[in-house]
Amino acid sequence: MVRVGNELGKNIKKDFRRNYSMGLKREEERLNEKNKFDGNLIFGARKFHEITNRLGSGKPMNLELTPEWKLCVDDTGNERYQRKKDIYEPVNECPVCGNKERRYLVSRFGLDIYRCPECTLGYLDPRIKYGRIHEIYWSDETSANIFTTDAQIKVDEIKYDYGLRLAEEWGLSGKKKILDIGCGTGLFLKRAQKFGFEECVGIDPNKLYLKCYENVKGIRFYSTDFESLKLDELGDDYDCMGMWSVLEHIYDPVKFFTRMNKLMKKGGIFLIFVPNTNALSTRLFRGQSPIFVWKHVTYWTADSLKFFMEKMGYKVELIETVISEIGNIRNYLSWDHQYAGSHENDTTFNSITPEFIHKNLMGSRLMGVFKKL
C-alpha cells in the first residue's frame, strides 16, 4: 500500500509538472484537463449518477424525500395551491390527436400540464369547465391592462406588420377580406386596414375591449366567445385569418378549425402566433413560466402545430420562432428573478444569442404561415 501511495505521489508530481509544462494558460488545455475528472463526460450523466448512488429510490437526485429529509420534514400530501371545487373537468385525451397516453410535463400554482408523446402537444388536466371560464375571462383585466399600454401597442404594431408581410410573401391571394379571431384591442385589424385590406372583421369574447372599438371606422367587431359564434354573420371567402395568442385558449381546436375552414378561401393564408413550449426560456423557467396559466388549455410546439395544421387541411409555408427573451434568460442564469432585469446585460452567456435561439426554434413564440389547400 505504501508503495502504491508513493507511486501515486510520484504520478501526481509528474502530472503537475506535465500540466505546468504544457501551459494551462491555454484555455483548451485547461478544458482538456478538467474534462478528465468530469464524471458526466467520462461515464455519461445517468450512468455516473447511478454508479455513484446519486440516482434511485430514496437517493438525492430522485424527486422525492431522502430518508434524512424525512427526519426534517413531513410530506403531508397537501399542496400549497388547492384547486377550487366544482369548476374543473378532466381531460382524458390529447385535444389534437386523441392519444390517451401522456407524460407529466410541469405544474404551476396548482395546475398540472401533461404532454402527448405522439404529437407533442401539451394540455391542462384538469382544466376549468368551458361553461365556467367565461366568468373569469370577463373579469380578466390583467390582459386588458397589458395590451392597452403604449409600449405594448408599439411593439405589437411592428409584430402585426411583420405578420402581414409574411402573409404577402407567402402568396396572399388577395386583400379583400381578413378575419382576426380574438382581436383584443383591434390593433391587428387596424394595421391590416392600413395594409390595404378592404373588409376587416374581428371577434373577441372579452367585453373589456368593447370601448376600444368605439369610433373605429371600417372595421366590424363581434363581442362573443368563439364556440357559440354564428358563422353566417361573418360571411365567407376570407383571404386571410389571424390568431394572435388565441389558439392556446381553444378547448377543441379540431372542431373549431373545422368550423372556421368553411369561411376560408382556398389558397387563403392563416397566420398563427402562439406560445412555444419548447422555448429556451420556458425550458429554463418551467413551473415559473407564465405561459403555464389557467386560460391556456393547450401548449404548442413547432411539431404539434405542423401536425395540427396539416390535419386541418393546410400547407405549412413557414414555422419559425420570434421573441428571444434573451434578457430574461440572462437574469435567470445569473441567479436573479428572470424578470427583474438586473443582469440582462451580463456577458457571461454571450454565446446564447438570439440567432442561436431562433435557429433552433427556441424563441418564446411560434409564428406560422399556413395556406389552405
Nearer to Zn ion among residue 115 and residue 191 (C-beta): 115
What are the residues binding Zn ion (CB under 5 A)? 94, 96-97, 99, 116, 118-119, 121
Nearer to Zn ion among residue 304 and residue 331 (C-beta): 304
Q: In the structure grid, which three cell numbers stand for residue 362, read together? A: 427556441
Q: Provide φ and ψ at 243, rounded to 5°.
A: -135, 100
Q: Residue 104 in contact with residue 114, Cβ under 8 Å?
A: yes
Q: In the structure grid, which three cell numbers stand for residue 122, read together? A: 401539451
- Stated as kind and residue range, the H or E segment containing 244 is strand 238-244
| Minimum distance, C-beta of residue 307 to Zn ion, in the bound complex (Å) | 8
| Minimum distance, C-beta of residue 119 to Zn ion, in the bound complex (Å) | 3
How big is the CA angle at 336 (ends 330 and 341), to the nearest 5 degrees? Answer: 60
Return the bridge partners of 21, or none.
Answer: none
Over its C-alpha atoms, the chain yields an Rg (Å, rounded) of: 26
Nearer to Zn ion among residue 118 and residue 252 (C-beta): 118
Nearer to Zn ion among residue 97 and residue 322 (C-beta): 97
Q: How far is CA 56 from CA 40, 42, 62, 103, 121, in A?
A: 17, 20, 6, 20, 29
| Minimum distance, C-beta of residue 303 to Zn ion, in the bound complex (Å) | 10
Q: Helix, strand, or coil here: 220?
A: strand
| Minimum distance, C-beta of residue 101 to Zn ion, in the bound complex (Å) | 9
| Minimum distance, C-beta of residue 51 to Zn ion, in the bound complex (Å) | 36
Picking from 215, 273, 271, 266, the residue whose alpha carbon sits closest to that of residue 244 is: 273
Nearer to Zn ion among residue 127 and residue 371 (C-beta): 127
Amino acid in the structure at residue 198? E
How big is the CA angle at 265 (ends 264 and 268), to the nearest 5 degrees? Answer: 85
| Minimum distance, C-beta of residue 257 to Zn ion, in the bound complex (Å) | 15
Return the bridge partners of 221, or none.
Answer: 202
Nearer to Zn ion among residue 118 and residue 161 (C-beta): 118
Nearer to Zn ion among residue 87 and residue 105 (C-beta): 105
| Minimum distance, C-beta of residue 97 to Zn ion, in the bound complex (Å) | 3
